[in-house]
A and B are shown apart, each in its own frame.
Chain A
Amino acid sequence: MERATLSALNAARHARQPVLLLTPLAGGAPQIIAHDAPREGALGAAVARAFASGQPARITLDGADHFLNPYLPAPRLVLIGAVHIAQALAPMAARCGLDVTIIDPRTAFATPERFAGQRVIADWPEDALSEQPLDRWTALAALTHDPKIDDDPLSAALRAGCFYVGALGSRKTHAARLERLHASGLTPAQTDRICAPIGLDIAAANPAEIAVAVLAEIIAALRRQDRPA
């Protein structure tokens, strides 16, 4: 591979742009294939499959053996609410390879002291997320119980096709939330994707255990999805 190709590949990965690298195995220059590049013939079909599955493939082009390697964006986790559960969840999620951001407009909660080594943004989700938009490789968990803070990012996560959308709150709280989201124009088919009550049912009894339940649910959503292109 040429250095310029490696630099371009890394630049795309850092910018969360899904790309493929097509390498002729007998020698020759590998080529980067962008997500929006035209797809034609046998290569086009293999490209579509690799973007959709995230799995590499061997293909024969003009009689030559090639390796097609997808580089899809690393999964991200956005936590709305710099609350006790978030303090337990953020480091565990980072340990599992998720790129974590905590957002809370309440400056007393969103402090670096409460989240050592984590990315904490003391701002309204709407403003914080305009800098770093949600995408289908992102999970979002709303943890504040406060509709003024939670509703907007939940709606944005559903519209962006986030691979996981969870919301903390009792069944009663969630029923009221659904009414508000439907009134704002979301359909029941869209809001069905919200995991609520949040987390796998492991009878979690404290914030750290709830964090385990939520993280397990996020991992299941990540690993079981048919990763869409």
Chain B
Amino acid sequence: MQPDSTDPLDIADAWAQEGRQLAIATVIETWGSAPRPAGSHLVIDAEGRFEGSVSGGCVEGAVVEEARHVIATGTPCILEYGVADETAWEVGLSCGGRIRIHVARLD
């Protein structure tokens, strides 16, 4: 495989080489009809710029905010989103699925 300009892990490497601080978010579990499968990545930098996808656009905004916190503290976290969630009205998956996302800083 050649380096792909849209591959989140290649982008993470390129960003790190530029000296940018970043976090990698990974879908670790899905239930029901989740838009992106487990293993999918989103890469986020300290300014909130991001590439990749963990939900096809449904919850990326919320993940980016959490990721900036992870970048600041260095402590990984696990996020969960879904329609059964109380946050569903704000950020949820309209498709009815649920996803769990792990976010960790690149050190």
Contact = CB atoms under 8 A, between A and B. Distances in A.
Interface of A: 1-3, 6-7, 9-10, 13-14, 16, 23, 25-27, 55-56, 58, 67, 69-70, 73-74, 99
Given A2-B107, A10-B10, A25 B28 contact: yes
A25 to B, nearest CB: 6
Contact of B1 (A2, A13, A70): A13
The CB with the most chain A CB atoms within 10 A, among B13, B39, B107, is that of B39
Interface size class of B (residues with CB under 8 A): 20 to 34
Given A25-B78, A27-B75, A73-B1, A7 B28 contact: no
Nearest to A2: B107
Given A7-B13, A10-B13, A58-B29, A74 B1 contact: yes
A67 B1 contact: no
Given A67-B26, A70-B39, A74-B1, A25 B102 contact: yes
B106 interface: yes
B32 interface: no
Nearest to A3: B16
Nearest to B102: A25
Nearest to A26: B76
Contacts of B16: 3, 6
A69 B106 contact: no
B12 A6 contact: yes
Interface in B65-95: 75-76, 78
Nearest to A25: B102
- The dominant DSSP class at the A interface is mixed
A1 B23 CA distance: 9
A183 to B, nearest CB: 37
Contact of B102 (A6, A16, A23, A55): A23
B12 to A, nearest CB: 6
Contacts of B102: 23, 25, 67
Nearest to A30: B104
A39 to B, nearest CB: 20
Contacts of B104: 1, 23, 27
A212 B12 CA distance: 35
B2 interface: yes
Contact of A23 (B26, B106, B107): B26
Nearest to A55: B38
7 contacts: A6-B106, A14-B2, A26-B76, A67-B26, A67-B28, A69-B26, A70-B39
A101 to B, nearest CB: 11
A47 to B, nearest CB: 15
B46 interface: no
A7 B106 CA distance: 11
A3 B105 CA distance: 10
A15 to B, nearest CB: 8
